[in-house]
Chains A and B, each alone.
Chain A
Amino acid sequence: MLGGLCPSDVALVLRHCPERANVLFSNAMISRSVARARALYSVIISEDPSEYAISGLGSTHFATITAGDCEKRTIGAEGGGGSSKCSKCSKCNANEAVTGSSCLQCFRSALYAKFRQAVTSHATILPTDNLLLAFSGGSASRVALQFVHEMQQKAQRNSDASRDKSYPVFGVGVAFVDESAAFPIPSTQMEQAIQDMTSIVSSLASPVKNLHVIPIENICHSKSMDGRNRLKELLHNITDITGKEDFIRQLRLLCLQKAASENGYDKLILGSCASTIAHHVIAATVKGQGYSLPADIQYVDARWEIPVMLPLRDCLGQELSMLCLLDSLKTLDVFNGGSSGVNRLVSSFIALLREENPARECTIVRTAEKLIPFHFNKLLETDDSDDFMTSRWHRKRMNLRPRESIASEFLCAICSSPLNKSDVESLRHELHCRTSMSERCELTCCRSCQFQVLPKEPSSVEQFYSLLPQCIITQMKNHTYGDFDILREQIEDCLLSDSDDDS
């Protein structure tokens, strides 16, 4: 499938907007996808393959559609031999339906409405915020970037039009994590991708957005070569392929957190869509993470120093890919190791379900929504959100004791998932007795990480521990499973409100 689109979608696009079909097809997909499209619909293809010319988007996995691959039919006279379907949009009843039963405008505004709804009901974007948007090149994060940009533009126009022109407009930065240290990607490919990304971000330049390219090895060490080696060695110690993948994903998030806090951003926006969430629900269930599952799938995730927001949570991946195609939003296909092991199985399972019923992903997300979220799935309310300094100060208060201030949940040191109460009880008891770091390592992690990330041999654990990023090591060192809180309770009366006087 092409970015989550099924053959009939591809055919629809080709039929209605052939001039916009600047698309990339992988060699493998082309014969399957287009051949099936031919079988299902009459497709209008130009004789000239250059009409499908690629706009240089950096991926090596593509080929053009040649005229010979598809049935040639000319765009006949209306009512002639060409397209047999010519229905009106069911919403506005004016334009021709392009996708499903909506025209392009209604389709786009429906998606934007979902985005806006998520933003306003969860205070995701406030005028004083400085947002960092994580951009992978894929269609979901591209749409997130586009929508955030449009929202920013509108706020800017409002600000310019206002009388005192002091109405603040939120800032936006874009971050890309370069994972070439973890996967073998030819450097030319990565350079090309970064170039393309720069051009995408600069094309959205009013207001200007900074692009931060973050090599993933930075989280291990600030010097590039050392970082790369440490990372390679660290990953080498993880034998389970699913564990490795999940660990890299966690490192990616830590990189983004680090970049956000070092560059003065308040919030991190991810383009995770409903399809990503559905995948995560099934994958987490299968890995035994049923307790912590609700933490990762809400609009807001404030476990972190920089809260993470998911404004595209209600949009399906298919819809977002379709929008990118129809609106010619440039996407990149940056190779990131693909998925393997359990994650890949889950992907193919969901793809199968999607074929049987395209709305299945929505049902999965809806089911998971009925699970109780955690208290950190809500942002801390600030009294005075207009005053920039106050909200900073409020936020600093929350971060006075990061992680430990989240009193009622204990988080895994590696993947930050909340630990089940019964697990905590047994771990807490053991933690008192064990002092060696390799034992602490195991006892500060959730069962899933213990199984799939930590090395099995106790001797390897020492080495593994020494290679971990500093932030994870700190987590492991400081974990006490609650003694701090009991202590705090006892001395509660003596504490002054803004003092740092902790015992």
Chain B
Amino acid sequence: MEESEATTKKPRSRQCCICKDRRAALKRPKNLEQICRECFYDAFEEEIHKVIVQNQLFKPGERVAVGASGGKDSTVLAYVMSELNRRHQYGLELFLLSVDEGITGYRDDSLETVKRNEIQYGLPLKIVSYKDLYGWSMDEIVKAIGLKNNCTFCGVFRRQVRELIYFVFARPVVSLIPALDRGAALLKVDKLVTGHNADDIAETVLLNILRGDIARLGRCTSITTGEDGTIPRCKPFNFENLDDIDTYAYFKKLDYFSTECIYSPNAYRGFAREFIKDLERIRPRAILDIIKSGEDFRISTTTKMPEQGTCERCGYISSQKWCKACVLLEGLNRGLPKLGIGRTRGRNGQQRDAPQTNGGMKNIGSKQCGTLDF
């Protein structure tokens, strides 16, 4: 029988509205289309492929690290990347890169998942740990400084990990950072991909507005960031809703580990996340609208942006004399754990607005753990 309402969202019979042949198995969260499994996989994978091609994310022969936390986003990312690499012959050398912050009961479990992913997807795995790099695991840091501001440490360290990887290979090793050689020689990395999805980007846009971080606001919607002397990072899932990714993982029965970081129950990002969830219920397209707004913001060139220099201690890029990681490490090593934690206010370690500093400490906002954030 002819399906005359091909374009309406709810066809009378439960037929897939794309192939009109198989039975619809789900309603696609993004646009509420009734769709069968195979068409959903195709549509989803095609969308990612288009994003990669249109934005020229990769070149053949590149070594690409896939940020793998063991969670849904990164599992789907690893699966899809290796699929598309094979199917469309991107010619990339893919491998999984996982960061071990040293959080018992959270990270050690998810690392097991990543190890299984290594076997399942046939991608080599490299684990880099805070303990190896900095001499401190998150558990030890939390013991030293308590439950406030621990997100700062985690975020700063994680952000620096990718720089260190690049660094050590390209520049002389700075001996203050112990034991880096152990893993570094294996890691020649041209690009990093992470599983940040549309919900993450939308939250980040809102957060940057709320905190007055105009510099980040201008950058956060870009699909590729960090091309200035650091490892470029791409986010192919930029326009995919979290629900779509979850649905994909569910139907493909991918192996993932799902839990929240135990140390971040009240990170500030939670405000934005709740709001966006409520918003999505009444207007599903709001997430993509937020991202569109973020892309359309034009920032005044007279705005003062932080100046980029280099850290005296380790050579990492920094707008201050010492980079944040060195400051925090110094504090930990000297038994002054508050060193480097700027003027915090409010409950539960919520950070103050990122200031245009002139001698004060640069604050990096806390992000909710659960996704691998470089």
Residue A285, interface by CB 8 Å? yes
Whether B299 sits at the interface, judged by CB under 8 Å, is yes
Residues on A with beta carbons closer than 8 Å to the beta carbon of B295 = 290
Q: Pick the contact of A363 from B285, B297, B350, B353 — CB < 8 Å? A: B353
- Given A357-B346, A368-B209, does the pair A286, B279 have CB atoms closer than 8 Å? yes
Q: Mark B310-323, 1 if CB is under 8 A from A, else 0.
A: 00000000000000
In chain A, positions 177-216 with a C-beta closer than 8 Å to chain B are: none
Q: Let me know if A260 is at the binding interface, CB within 8 A.
A: no
A371 and B299: CB pair below 8 A? yes
Within 8 A of A (CB), among B256-311: 271, 275, 278-279, 282-283, 285-286, 288-290, 292-300, 303
Contacts of A285 in B (CB 8 A): 205-206, 209, 290, 293-294
Decide yes or no: A353 and B282 within 8 Å by CB, A289-B293, A370-B299 being known contacts. no
Q: Is B210 an interface residue (CB 8 A)?
A: yes
Interface 0/1 of A360-394, CB less than 8 Å to B: 10011011101110000000000000000000000
Q: Which residue of B lies closest to A452 (CB)?
A: B283
Chain A residues whose CB sits within 8 angstroms of the CB of B337 once the complex forms: none
Residue B212 interfacial (CB < 8 Å): yes
Please, how many angstroms separate the alpha-carbon atoms of A372 and B282 in the complex?
A: 31
Contact indicator A281/B209 (Cβ below 8 Å) = yes
> Whole-angstrom distance from the CB of B355 to the nearest CB of chain A?
11
Which A462-497 residues sit within 8 Å CB-CB of chain B? none
Is B211 interfacial (CB 8 A cutoff)? yes
By the criterion CB–CB under 8 Å, are B212 and A363 in contact?
A: yes
Q: How far is the CA of A434 from the CA of B8 in the complex (A)?
A: 24
* Complex Cα spacing A282 to B300, Å: 19
Q: Mark B198-221, 1 if CB is under 8 A from A, else 0.
A: 000000011011111110010000
Q: In the complex the two chains form, is B214's CB within 8 Å of A370's CB?
A: yes
- CB < 8 Å neighbour of B209 from A282, A287, A345: A282
Inter-chain contacts of B289 with A (CB < 8 A): 286-288, 448
Question: What residues of B have a CB within 8 angstroms of the CB of A372 in the complex?
Answer: 298-300
Q: Is B345 at the interface (CB under 8 A from chain A)?
A: yes
Point out the residues of chain A lying under 8 angstroms from B303, CB to CB: 370
| Interface residues of chain B: helix, strand, loop or mixed (majority) | helix
Q: Does A284 contact B (CB under 8 A)?
A: yes
Instruction: Name the residue on B nearest A360 (C-beta).
Output: B210
Contacts of B279 in A (CB 8 A): 286, 342, 345
Q: For residue B145, give the distance in angstroms from its CB to the closest CB of chain A.
A: 23
> A285-B293, A345-B282 are known contacts. Are A353 and B299 too (CB-CB below 8 A)?
no
Chain B residues contacting A366 (CB-CB under 8 Å) are 212
In the bound assembly, the distance between CA atoms of A264 and B290 in angstroms comes to 41
- Bound: A353/B271 CA distance, A: 8
How distant is the Cα of A288 from the Cα of B295 in the complex, in angstroms?
Answer: 10
Please indicate the chain A residues that have their CB under 8 angstroms from the CB of B353 in the complex: 363
Please report the C-alpha to C-alpha distance between residue A287 and residue B303 in the assembled complex, in whole angstroms: 25
Q: How large is the interface on B (under 10, 10 to 19, 20 to 34, 35 or more residues)?
A: 35 or more
Residue numbers in B under 8 Å from A357 (CB-CB):
345-346
Contacts of A356 in B (CB 8 A): 271, 346-347, 350
B214 partner residues in chain A, CB cutoff 8 A: 367, 370
**CA of A211 to CA of B197, assembled, Å:** 53
Q: A286-B290, A290-B292, A345-B279 are in contact. Are A451 and B285 (CB under 8 A)?
A: yes
* A102 vs B297: C-alpha distance when bound (angstroms): 38
Q: Is the CB of B282 within 8 A of A341?
A: yes
A98 at the interface (CB under 8 A from B): no
Q: Are B293 and A282 in contact (CB under 8 A)?
A: no
| B24 shortest CB reach to chain A, Å | 22
Bound CA–CA A360/B345 (angstroms): 12
CA distance A44 to B297 in the complex (A): 50
Q: Point out the residue from B212, B283, B286 that lies within 8 Å of A367, measured CB to CB.
A: B212
Residues of B within 8 A of A353 (CB): 210, 271
Check A146 for interface membership: any CB of B closer than 8 A.
no
B290 touches A288 (CB 8 A): yes
Distance (Å) between the CB of A359 and the closest chain B CB?
Answer: 9
- Is A291's CB within 8 Å of the partner chain B? yes
Chain A residues with Cβ below 8 Å from B294 are: 285, 290
Bound: A370/B217 CA distance, A: 11
Nearest chain-A residue to B301 (Cβ)?
A372
Is residue A35 contacting chain B, with contact meaning CB distance below 8 A?
no
A291: nearest chain-B partner, CB-CB: B296
Question: Distance (Å) between the CB of A364 and the closest chain B CB?
Answer: 6
Is A242 close to B, CB under 8 A?
A: yes
CB–CB A342/B297 < 8 A: no
A352 CB-CB contact with B under 8 Å: yes
Cβ distance A352 to chain B, nearest Cβ, rounded Å = 7
| A288, A341, A352, A451: most-surrounded residue (chain B CB, <10 A) | A288
CA distance A287 to B279 in the complex (A): 11
Complex formed: what's the CA distance from A290 to B294 in Å? 6
Closest-by-CB residue of B relative to A422 is B296
Q: Which of B36-57 contact A (CB under 8 A)?
A: none
Task: Name the B residues within 8 Å of A448 (CB-CB).
Answer: 289
Asked if residues B212 and A288 are in contact (CB atoms below 8 Å), the reply is: no
Question: Across the interface, which residues of B come within 8 angstroms of A281, CB to CB?
Answer: 209
Query: How far is it, in angstroms, between the C-alpha of A371 and the C-alpha of B294 when the chains are bound?
Result: 11
**Interface-central residue, B282, B285, B293, B353, by most chain A CB under 10 Å:** B293
When distances are taken between beta carbons in the complex, the residues of chain A under 8 Å from B211 are 363
Q: How far is the CA of A370 from the CA of B214 in the complex (A)?
A: 7
* Separation of A2 and B35 alpha carbons in the complex (Å): 49
* Smallest Cβ-Cβ distance to A362: which chain B residue: B212
The reply to whether B206 and A290 form a contact with Cβ atoms under 8 Å apart is: no
* Chain B residues, CB < 8 A from A363: 210-212, 353
CB of B297 within 8 A of CB of A371, answer yes
Q: How far is the CB of A275 from chain B (nearest CB, A)?
A: 14
Contacts of A242 in B (CB 8 A): 283
Q: In the complex, are the beta carbons of A293 and B346 less than 8 A apart? A: no
A198 to B11, CA, bound (A): 57
Q: How far is the CA of A344 from the CA of B213 in the complex (A)?
A: 25
Using a CB-CB cutoff of 8 Å, which residues 331-366 of chain A contact chain B?
341-342, 345, 349, 352-353, 356-357, 360, 363-364, 366
23 A–B contacts, CB within 8 A, in A order: A282-B206, A285-B205, A286-B289, A286-B293, A289-B293, A290-B294, A291-B293, A293-B293, A293-B297, A341-B283, A342-B286, A345-B278, A364-B209, A364-B210, A367-B208, A367-B210, A367-B213, A368-B209, A371-B299, A371-B300, A372-B298, A372-B299, A448-B289
List 9 other contacts, CB 8 Å, given A286-B279, A368-B209, A372-B299: A281-B209, A282-B206, A288-B285, A341-B282, A349-B275, A357-B345, A364-B210, A366-B212, A367-B212
